[in-house]
A and B are shown apart, each in its own frame.
Chain A
């Protein structure tokens, strides 16, 4: 960045050296403005300082804006032409700046008229502003962050640090005292729920209560922040904001299989305490800085898979994609509703339509989709290469002999089927060696839909054998028809040497279709290998009945193998479909492993292409194209990105990332600091976390927000440093008990006279149950688990699972996030639907929630598991079991009344009933 230009820091005015002051200007009448001065401005100035462009943030066609001036200072000072930059620059009074910048100086008469008008007081009649000029005020949040000194407070015993002084400075004038410190058991519960989304174990509670060293709390906080559980918990907050989901949404709502690397990226970045400015940059331009999966942010939104030849619909869909990218960027990093400027200038904030389309231009080259991502570091890549080499060598050795074990195909119609049934994983058809130029595989019946072949291999009868069907060996493929419009399923994938559904051929004929390979030259062949999906993910579209023919010359077909002598799949008489051990099984294992290692991992992180020009669209209508707009940011907020309209694609995103994360951009640090405070204390300093504009809620404590934001930047954008500061503060350690006199003054606890208690999120309820029952699986990363029954309808049907097992017992952040569909048990607890950004969850209380917790199969199963754990760990005696249950779930001992009632319940209806009730208790569901 060349100069400051953030916020409204005053630019220095050149000292005035001229003695023009005091000269009497010729009298001019007010009417002269409309007929005299304005036309001059219109002809010479409006192009750069008018309705569409406001260089230096100066706009001269609107009275209020012209009189306010621009970044360089006041353009028009009524009565003082000598101080008016508009006059000085056109009159050539400043050596450095001359206006207009091109086209030669203004005629002397025009300069004189301008001077005369200004000196007369710049009379500007009302009613001349263009209709769109109603100007949005510059909101408080656009002002630069000034680091305030923590305020002086009367009570000097309470504050532990600056945070407490800011909080106390609001409490004292309201006549409120802070609450006493919460019990340590309550604090560790609060802290662990907050930082990990889990409960402290009874042992952890006991250890803290025992530890009387002065830094016991600090060490606990450091330990919690260092644990990978922290990233899993706080990633969820960010994933809400960025509308992360693992399906596309809309009508088809198909899975987005490779979206999970973005989730892993966020978890990892938070665990590693990635500096926030870097975190921003990676999500917008991770492909350029070695964090490929991070750009999953840009394409995290819904994407309509239904495509149409209708150009109007196609344009509208693309506009919606770009809108999602631009508006989510504004929401997530700037806390601004830039999406409002799609159809017109923003009504409340200084965000113009040009700003909006400038942001769109930044993303104009981003397309939805997955791309190969780099393997993180050299060492890992090398290790992978070595492993692959060894496996492939072993596989080659095995394969050289394996095929000899396959029975030969028989064309004798009278003999009973004896060959193994067809398998989606791979099939070998052996026959007596025959010279052939053409090989045809005809599918006559499939298990479902159009047939799919991931690769067709034709082996020579030579030693060593080779696959003569490969395109790279000069063979050509033909087919009866090809599946239309799919990048995955193409004829060229039939013999490209690559396996798997993603590199396969599908016909366009339900149940049938043929492919044919023309070899480079006639050669003796003795077997054909084919599969539906050698990677083992798909079992549908399998050829059940087929015929293989070969020919020396076109037309002279000879059948060499058919499915007639194969056993039926699943037929009782069938021998085991393949040995569970032995060379074939080993080869199968190796094939899968090789495929896994060879595939460069893919992530749904967008594809990047160099885009064409972006245009402003009148009223946001794709059909109403207006002027071209260069990639840009929000003019009122900082210096332009300075990119040409045809700037290289990656440069656009990088420039925007730098612009957002610039230390002088006041919004990035304010917005993330506010989010952080909001998640710790339940309510942001700005209660509208995604609207820091004029229509949002004003900050309840602006100095405090600025202190937090400046502290974040000063600590190298370390979020963990800020977390630590917050959770160790006296404010955070307060008891949450209500005090009538404080309730009377501040019922919502916004002033923080106590720690505000609240219900925890769905993820915490689920994870804590699993943790308490002992079922929680803490495996990190990778693809998630599904909350729904399997389904492969092209318009995906999501039917909640009814039975659960250990595969479902990972943390909920790893539950595959389906857009617009909620988990059948915990979704009712205000989980966001990932349709729109969700910076702040609603927190409702519904009967459906109660039914879920009281009756669902999931919770009842966990109650059984917890009961079993209690019996295991606390012996056969009810008293011990009850106490253990309370300790695990509520971090306290039952009082005598509770203990007696619990014992009665266990005696009458078993331990499970107790666990079920505890899982439903308000105390478990609330952080206090």
Chain B
């Protein structure tokens, strides 16, 4: 009982074979037990293939789990630009919009969008130039990212269900416009666990300026077990409660842990084999490891000056440098095998369009600020992932909640919300390089060719990670819930 470390003691008492052999014994396993029992019932029910349930070890809920089928990507990075990036000022070149600048948009008489009436068609203030081997035209707003056009796989025909930020961010991150559904990162860590032993499976990296509009909904676990929620931290702000109490000497920490270990071990002796109790002991072990591993992964001091410069981490502007440091953190997490990283660019606390991409009134003035914050660091991140070979088995998704109008708002110099057509792009494992899929109409108003939905995007992302979006389910309030609700099909055309 006076063993110096909790670990061997805990390990002996845990008896892993029992966990695996009898998930139902533990209290945490109780839910699992009836879920499994229900499978037969479901299979008989509606003719669909039955759900494929991850076998989750209570003592190691993040243990790597097999995919449904061989995966193209082992991990995912989502760069989420909050506030709705204008596709017609970035990725979606519309020569007709330039040509008919100042004219009313045909068929849009009396059109009322989110903030009201529309003015005329308005060309982008940024020039579009051919980039890379593919000659893809991308605007000057994001010149460094534009140079990587040959790595990108554009989906120009994305559509969203809502034209207001809250529900739309919810949909992009959770599949549902309503509150309370699990985020895509939570689904993925539920399905696959992680390859990083001492780190969370799903890390959300908030922008240096704050959190996006719907904040933690973007990385919530919803009705999935809380263990699968995203852990939010960035290069400047560690996870809450990670650090030991200030002033507490290491010896006191160790002695307190030891005494706790003794109490918990004796308690477990009274409930031998109880997996929930075992899992608690294991969770303290993981917590102790995270107290070392998270500061280590967040410590950028070992990065070379060159790397710091490439990302722009030495920029005198604290926001640019802050986002650059977050990009380096993202790479370091992916390098260590974290399954899902969601990197946010833009925050809402500062007001409409000030700290994010919501350019209603003064688009150029605001985008001139936001463009460089995103551009240099994100481009460096993509290059760095490629240089280190990580792009081979990491899928990158750049996205935003919806697009913006090709017109300016009446009486303003910016664009209103537009969920009818916008652009996202992917890069890396499993997707075509230098490829464009789908298209909006002549002005960029509405997706007209190979129209895709967020459900399709999620189905595709899961597919790349080796998961069948129709079979990755969790029973909640009477339904087998999915990330893709009852919709979605894999966008086969963009798969490499």
Chain A residues packing against B (C-beta within 8 Å): 243, 249-253, 302, 304, 306, 308-313, 316, 320, 324, 331, 336-337, 340, 347-348, 682-683, 687-688, 690-691, 693, 695-697, 736-738, 743, 747-748, 750, 756-759, 793-795, 797-798, 800, 819-822, 824-825, 828-830, 833-839, 842-852, 854-856, 860, 895, 897-898, 901-902, 904-905, 908-909, 913-914, 916-918, 920-923, 925-926, 928
Which chain A residue lies CB-closest to B213? A251
- A921: contacting residue among B225, B264, B475, CB under 8 A: B264
Cβ–Cβ contact A844 & B226, under 8 A: yes
Say yes or no: A820 contacts B179, CB within 8 Å: yes
Over the window 202-225 of chain B, the binary record of Cβ atoms lying under 8 Å from chain A Cβ atoms (1 yes, 0 no) is: 000000001101111100101111
Known contacts being A846-B226, A898-B266, is A836 close to B180, with CB within 8 Å? yes
Which stretch of B123-131, B251-259, B425-433 is in the interface?
A: B251-259
Instruction: Please determine whether A313 and B164 come into contact, CB atoms closer than 8 angstroms.
Output: yes
Closest B residue to A762 by beta carbon equals B226
Given A313-B114, A838-B223, A850-B284, the answer on whether A690 and B241 have CB atoms closer than 8 Å is no
The segment from B29-37, B94-102, B317-325, B390-398 that touches chain A is: B29-37
**A and B contact pairs by CB, cutoff 8 A, 15 listed:** A251-B213, A312-B163, A691-B478, A695-B42, A759-B27, A819-B179, A821-B215, A830-B225, A834-B180, A836-B180, A842-B31, A844-B28, A851-B290, A917-B263, A922-B267
CB proximity of B489 to chain A, nearest CB, Å: 18
CB distance from A207 to the nearest CB of B (A): 25
Q: How far is the CB of B210 from chain A (nearest CB, A)?
A: 6
Asked if B24 contacts A748 (CB within 8 A), the reply is yes
Contact pick for B227, options A757, A837, A844, CB 8 Å: A844
Q: Bound state CA distance, A743 and B268, in angstroms?
A: 16
Q: How far is the CA of A850 from the CA of B239 in the complex (A)?
A: 13
Q: Which residues of A contact B27 (CB under 8 A)?
A: 682, 756-759, 843
B33 to chain A: which residues have CB within 8 Å? 747-748, 750
Q: How far is the CA of A262 from the CA of B281 in the complex (A)?
A: 39
The 8 A-B residue pairs with the shortest CB-CB distance, nearest first, are A835-B180, A691-B478, A251-B166, A250-B166, A835-B179, A337-B478, A836-B180, A844-B225
Q: Tell me which residues from 231 to 251 in chain B have a Cβ below 8 Å from any Cβ of chain A.
A: 231, 239-245, 251
Q: Across the interface, do B264 and A922 meet the contact criterion of CB distance under 8 Å?
A: yes
A923 CA / B260 CA spacing, docked (Å): 11
Residue of B nearest to A910 (CB): B252
**Is there an interface contact between A905 and B256, defined as CB atoms closer than 8 Å?**
yes
Residue on B nearest A316 in the bound complex, by CB: B162
Question: How far does the Cβ of A792 sit from chain B's closest Cβ, in whole Å?
Answer: 11
Distance of A682 Cα from B27 Cα, bound (Å): 9
Contacts of A310 in B (CB 8 A): 112-114, 163
Are B217 and A920 touching (Cβ within 8 A)? no
Q: Bin chain B's interface residue count.
A: 35 or more
A821 with B216, Cβ < 8 A, contacts A251-B166, A737-B271, A836-B181 known: yes
B119 CB-CB contact with A under 8 Å: no
* Least CB separation from A692: chain B residue: B478
Which B residues lie within 8 Å of A793 (CB)?
Answer: 349
Taking a contact as CB atoms under 8 Å apart, the answer to whether B164 and A849 are in contact is no
The answer on a CB contact under 8 Å between B256 and A855 is no
Q: Do A820 and B217 have beta carbons less than 8 Å apart?
A: yes
Are A836 and B477 in contact (CB-based, < 8 A)? yes
Residue of B nearest to A849 (CB): B283
CA distance A856 to B245 in the complex (A): 8
- Say yes or no for B109: interface residue by CB 8 A criterion: no
**Contacting chain A: which of B68-76, B272-280, B370-378?**
B272-280
Residues A795 and B213 in contact, CB atoms below 8 Å apart: yes
* Distance in Å: Cβ of A757 to nearest Cβ of chain B: 7
Q: Closest chain B residue to A795 by CB distance? A: B348
B216 touches A820 (CB 8 A): yes
Q: For B167, what are the chain A residues with a Cβ–Cβ distance below 8 Å?
A: 250, 304
Of the residues A737, A821, A846, A897, contact of B270 by C-beta under 8 Å: A737
* Interface: B479 (CB within 8 A): yes
In the assembled complex, which residues on chain B have CB atoms less than 8 Å from the CB atom of A759? 27, 276, 280
State how many angstroms separate the Cβ of B207 from the closest Cβ of chain A. 13
Instruction: Please tell me if B25 contacts chain A, counting CB pairs below 8 Å.
Output: yes
Q: Contact: A920 with B260, CB < 8 Å? A: yes
Candidate in A313, A331, A691, A819 with the most chain B CB atoms within 10 angstroms: A313
Q: Are B226 and A842 in contact (CB under 8 A)?
A: yes
Since A682-B30, A738-B274, A835-B179 are in contact, a sample of 18 more A-B pairs with Cβ atoms closer than 8 Å, ordered by chain A residue number, is: A250-B167, A304-B167, A306-B165, A306-B166, A347-B46, A748-B24, A748-B34, A795-B349, A821-B215, A836-B180, A860-B245, A897-B1, A897-B266, A904-B259, A909-B252, A914-B259, A921-B264, A922-B268
| B365 in the interface (beta carbon within 8 A) | no
User: Which A residues are CB-close (under 8 A) to B291?
Assistant: 851
Q: Are B267 and A923 in contact (CB under 8 A)?
A: yes
Chain A residues positioned under 8 Å from B267 (CB to CB)? 921-923, 926
Of B228, B256, B281, B348, the most chain A CB neighbours within 10 A belong to B256
Q: Does B135 contact A (CB under 8 A)?
A: no
Cα-based distance from A850 to B216 in the complex (angstroms): 20
* B421 vs chain A, min Cβ distance (A): 16
Cα of A843 to Cα of B58 in the assembled complex, Å? 11
CB distance from A738 to the nearest CB of B (A): 6
Q: Any chain A CB within 8 A of the CB of B262?
A: yes
Contact check: which of A750, A834, A926 meets B277 at CB < 8 Å?
A926
Note all chain A residues with C-beta closer than 8 A to B163: 308, 310, 312-313
Asked if B259 and A901 sit within 8 Å, CB to CB, the answer is yes
Q: Is the C-beta of B449 less than 8 angstroms from some C-beta in chain A?
A: no
Cα–Cα distance between A389 and B2 once the two chains are bound (Å): 72
Q: Is B287 an interface residue (CB 8 A)?
A: yes
A687 lies within 8 A of B34 (CB): yes
CB distance from B360 to the nearest CB of A (A): 12
Contact across chains for B274 and A835 when beta carbons are under 8 A apart: no
Known A842-B225, A855-B245; judge A847-B290 contact (CB<8 A): yes
Nearest chain A residue, comparing its CB with the CB of B268: A922
Residues of B within 8 A of A316 (CB): 162
Residues of B within 8 A of A836 (CB): 178-181, 222-223, 476-477
Complex formed: what's the CA distance from A750 to B24 in Å? 10
B474, closest chain A residue (CB): A842
**B residues less than 8 Å from A852 (CB atoms):** 240-241
* Chain A residues whose C-beta falls within 8 Å of the C-beta of B1 in the assembled complex: 897, 901
* Residues of chain A contacted by B116 (CB below 8 angstroms): 309
B38 interfacial by beta-carbon distance below 8 Å: yes
Q: How many Å from the CB of A117 to the closest CB on chain B? A: 33
Closest B-chain residue to A822, C-beta based? B216
